């Protein structure tokens, strides 16, 4: 009987280890792994907060006028009305009026993902296409294009076509332009 008591205690200890101690130990290991991932997330959040604070302090060194110019170059939303007004103001400097105004495709580039993505679409930059016509002579049209080129807003001229048969006596033609401009998400 004396030899049987140590075997019973040994069997009870093995059973206790298998039934309670080992599952509790494994659960605590998974909790430790989860705690480590949370600590890693907190560390990354602190790094991002520090980077944000650094960028905000750099941004605060810019004058309000410079920030306004930057927002005009690449706005953070699509404002087609403001775009049309800006183009119309440039045209009015040359006594031109915009005709056959057409708002074209608005591109979000949702099919591609970028590593620098800031928007929900996965692409940091969206674009919009706009088309219109102006009737004028060639030199005035070149001056208008020059002013479009030197405006603060980023504008790409996708297509230019003209119809010279509209007024051959005055030397004016009807020019059709397709432009593309961009904004940040």
> Do 104 and 40 share a structural domain?
no
Contact between 136 and 179 (Cβ < 8 Å): no
**Is residue 66 domain-resident?**
no
Confidence of residue 157 (pLDDT cuts 50, 70, 90): confident
Q: Are residues 10 and 98 in the same domain?
A: no
Cα angle vertex 58, ends 57, 60, to 5°?
A: 65
Question: Are 95 and 145 in the same domain?
Answer: yes
| Secondary structure (DSSP) of 55-83 | HHHHHTTS-HHHHHHHHHHS-SS--HHHH
> CB count, 10 Å around CB of 177?
22
Percent of the chain with pLDDT over 90: 13
Asked if residue 81 and residue 57 are part of one domain, the reply reads no
- Pick 147 or 3 by higher pLDDT: 147
Number of domains observed in the structure of the chain: 2
CA angle 48, 52, 54 (to 5 degrees): 115
Give the model's confidence band at 182: pLDDT under 50 very low, under 70 low, under 90 confident, else very high.
Answer: confident
According to the model, what pLDDT value does residue 45 have?
94
27 and 97 in a common domain? no
**Average pLDDT rounded to a whole number, residues 84-106:** 85
d(CA 44, CA 164): 62
Q: Both 86 and 163 in a single domain?
A: yes
Mean pLDDT, the chain, rounded, equals: 81
Sorted by sequence, the CB contacts under 8 Å of residue 149 that are 6+ apart come out as: 155
Q: Is residue 67 one of the residues assigned to a domain?
A: no
Last residue of a domain, one of 42, 61, 80: 61
| Mean pLDDT within 52-75 | 83
143: containing domain: 72-184
172 assigned to some structural domain:
yes
Report the candidate in 130, 119, 112, 113 with the shortest Cα–Cα distance to residue 77: 119
Q: Which of 42-46, 123-127, 138-142 is predicted most confidently?
A: 42-46
Per-residue model confidence as pLDDT tens digits over 3-47: 888 888 888 888 888 888 888 888 888 888 899 999 999 999 999
Residue 160 covered by a domain: yes
């Amino acid at each position: 009987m004396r030899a049987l008591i140590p075997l019973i205690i040994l069997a009870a200890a093995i059973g206790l280890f298998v039934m309670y101690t080992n599952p509790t130990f494994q659960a605590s290991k998974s909790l430790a792994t989860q705690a480590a991932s949370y600590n890693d997330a907190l560390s990354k959040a602190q790094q991002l907060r520090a980077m944000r604070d650094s960028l905000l302090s750099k941004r605060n060194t810019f004058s309000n006028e410079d920030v306004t110019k930057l927002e005009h170059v690449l706005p953070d939303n699509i404002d087609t009305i403001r775009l049309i007004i800006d183009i119309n103001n440039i045209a009015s400097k040359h006594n031109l009026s915009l005709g056959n105004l057409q708002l074209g495709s608005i591109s979000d580039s949702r099919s591609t993902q970028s590593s620098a993505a800031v928007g929900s679409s996965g692409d940091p930059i969206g674009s919009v296409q706009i088309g219109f016509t102006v009737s004028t002579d060639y030199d005035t049209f070149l001056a208008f294009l020059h002013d479009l080129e030197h405006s603060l807003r980023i504008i790409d001229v996708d297509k230019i076509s003209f119809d010279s048969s509209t007024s051959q006596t005055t030397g004016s033609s009807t020019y059709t332009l397709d432009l593309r401009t961009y904004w940040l998400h």
